A and B are shown apart, each in its own frame.
Chain A
Amino acid sequence: MDFELNEEQQMLADTVERWLASNYDFASRQRLCATPAGFSAENWAQLADLGLLGLNVPAEHGGLGAGASETLIVMRAFGRALLAEPYLPTAVMAVEGFKAAGTPAQQSHFLPRIVSGELRFALALLEPGARYDLAAVDTRATARADELESGYVLQGRKGVVLQGAAAQWLIVSTQLGGTGGTQPGVALFVVDAAAPGVRLHSFPTIDGLRCAEIAFEQVRLRADARLATAEQGADVIDRMVARGIAALCAESVGAMERLIELTVDYLKSRRQFGQPIATFQALQHRVAEMLTAAEQARAMAFMAAARVDDPDLNERRRALSAAKALVGQSGRLIGEQAVQLHGGMGMTDELAVGHYFKRLLGIDLSFGDSEYHLERFGEFL
């Protein structure tokens, strides 16, 4: 076991950090978040040029064929910079979906287009009122057979689709119905977001990004739109979400590390009672608690990357719930303390501190918050 970066990984880290350093300062991130789209198509093209969109895509489809460790490296750097582009749903989660369940035709159609930056994806999995339960699916795909072609009709509603409006294509979880009644399990479909009957409303999120509510009304799908059968779907969702959680843990750690740096700088420069407030022991102990929480989270982010491809489903779930629960708690603690240590300044929209706190919160609320994962972990005791 070795936690040091090898030469290739070091090059990857350098590439990402260099690009972020010259293209992604806090002020430009804030301007991006204020635009209607909430991200930059130009940045997206550059991420493609750097090969990062193909990080997880097998070499035969034009990608780098890298694994969870490389995703950790990239996401941690993105976390430091508060990246707003929809990298996670497209380059991490959708790619995993195609790798896990895509037909050869689907893989060779979609994966190269993800690598080139042409197509972005979002995951339409959650439904209103279901909280974090990905198995509670009422959206329905019904088999149809017309004179000209066979296929499906999609009907239903999805909620809190992260970065939904940025995507040209959606991966949608459904019940699967046909002449023989509803099949047990959850199926997955690849749906053109511009297809007739898809209605999407985009909303800003608490952390400056976007999410969407999406209604599907009699959306006609071709037979080859099915990504996973009702038998496969739950497992594929689990794999995609596992990848997503591992990546979010890494992003969170990057955000925590930067937030602690910002806080330490502030404590050293802010003076009250004739001295830097960094000299007060009560505040020093807070910093110690923040560093401790960050180290716990960092350990869990590595553990998540190590377990995310574990073929043992229970072991994988258990590990990712442990990681997500602890990373969520650490993120909240560090965010809350960073604001407190900045005093009133921490409450302002102007400083980056609050935006890091909000991203940490947004990460905790995505794919199950720390309470949810604590409970899920408990099921494996």
Chain B
Amino acid sequence: MDLQDSSEDRQFRAQVRSFVADHLPADIRARVLGFQRVERQDYVRWQRILHAQGWGAPGWPREFGGTGWSARWRSIFEEECFEAGAPRQMPFGLSMVGPVLIRFGTEAQRARFLPRIVSNDDWWCQGYSEPGAGSDLASLKMRAEQHNGGYVVNGQKTWTSFAHWANWIFCLVRTRAEGKPQAGISFLLIEMGTPGVRVKPIRTLDQGCDVNEVFFDEVVVPAEQRVGEENAGWTIAKYLLGHERSAIAGIGMCKRLLRRVKELAREQCKSGRPLIDDARFRQRIAQLEIELMSQEWSLMRLTSQEQAGKPIGAEASILKIRGSQIQQDLGRLLMECAGPYAIPYVPEALAEGAPGLLGLDPTLNGLAAQYLDLRKVSIYGGTNEVQKNLVAQSVLR
């Protein structure tokens, strides 16, 4: 056991810090740290800057265009990027379909798709949930029938984040109706431009439209766009969900929220003094910062355990549960910084170049909407109820 970062780790941190300081475009940084809307082009620009440095895929092995970094270095990299105000690297390609292709894909599939993920030439989205298949994902119904050596796909996906920005979607589809539901699922890659694919935005509580419904009507998919064997998709789905869970430990987002809470609590006044000097408010910030420290050390501990070849189980669910609660509590504190000015909300003013707010403080606009939007983190990626079942079953069953 050695609980300190090595000198190589510290050097690496310094290297990342100075790279990000030099290369992160100021306008993107300002939007991210100011909690303004981050556009598709912002994500793409930053991904391409990282790609040019050879850091486009921190989690992948070198032979596939990744960095080959240790888990510790990946954490350091993420921490530094978040701290500096970089947009997150979109997970759908890099942390989801990429690792799936590396683990289950053919040579041809890897050659075709992996480089375009790292360069962000392709934007991926995830076709898992359906209207009738949420927590009970295995009950999904979207059909793929064999036709001329490929498939014809019919059905619907929902809650598809950024489908309106994506040109590819990876889908779980039903290829066999009989037997156990889990045993009739396949994993297909579908180009969004294929005739018969239609995207319909879902407006959410915060008036944003980041999620969508995606409809498939007689969509023809070549057989070489199936990953793994037919009817072996569930194994892939489970592999991928494991990846997603540790990614939504949410430490980066928590840190950014915490930092913003402290900034705003220093700027906003209560009875003539900075809000951060209010004993009760200060205590609530302190409580959440302590919980975040614990979350961070849990993640370090579990990453090290995984690196040592001991797979993590229910702990991933624990991270997800705690991470979502800390984010939601911080979102509430952030909203409370605004006092009654959390009430007015002009969604249009969140976009770049939007008309002014005629005297309203733009830093307070949208804080209540963000509190509302953060309610999703205990729902997506497996609800906290499902996660708690997994945690309990790990000892009770």
Interface of A toward B, CB cutoff 8 Å:
126, 128-129, 131-133, 159-160, 162, 201, 203-207, 211, 213, 215, 271-273, 280, 282-283, 336, 339-340, 343-344, 346-350, 354, 357-358, 361-362, 365-366, 369, 371, 375
Contact = CB atoms under 8 A, between A and B. Distances in A.
B346 A203 contact: yes
Given A273-B136, A357-B205, 19 more contacts: A126-B340, A132-B340, A160-B344, A204-B346, A206-B344, A206-B368, A272-B134, A272-B135, A272-B139, A273-B135, A343-B134, A344-B380, A349-B207, A354-B372, A357-B372, A361-B371, A369-B339, A371-B336, A375-B280
Given A358-B372, A365-B368, A375-B280, A343 B383 contact: yes
B343 interface: yes
Given A358-B372, A371-B280, A346 B340 contact: no
Interface in B120-144: 129, 132, 134-136, 139
Interface residues of B, number: 46
15 contacts: A126-B340, A131-B268, A160-B344, A203-B357, A203-B360, A204-B344, A204-B345, A273-B139, A339-B375, A340-B379, A340-B383, A344-B379, A347-B205, A349-B207, A365-B368
Interface of B: 129, 132, 134-136, 139, 158-159, 202-205, 207, 211, 268-271, 280, 336, 339-346, 357-360, 368-369, 371-372, 375-376, 378-380, 383-385, 388-389
Given A160-B343, A272-B134, A343 B205 contact: no
B358 A213 contact: yes
Nearest to A215: B359
Given A203-B344, A282-B388, A344-B379, A272 B136 contact: yes
A16 B285 CA distance: 44
B343 A206 contact: yes
A160 B136 contact: no
The 9 closest A-B pairs by CB, nearest first: A131-B339, A272-B136, A349-B203, A203-B344, A206-B368, A160-B340, A354-B205, A206-B345, A201-B358
A369 B270 CA distance: 14
A169 B380 CA distance: 47
Contacts of B129: 344
Nearest to A133: B271
A25 to B, nearest CB: 19
Nearest to B349: A203
A145 to B, nearest CB: 33
A198 to B, nearest CB: 14
Nearest to B359: A213
Given A159-B340, A346-B379, A348-B205, A361 B139 contact: no
A344 B345 contact: no
Contact of A201 (B339, B359, B371): B359
A206 B342 CA distance: 8
Contacts of B358: 201, 213
A187 to B, nearest CB: 22
A280 B71 CA distance: 38
Contact of A365 (B211, B342, B359): B342
A354 B372 CA distance: 9
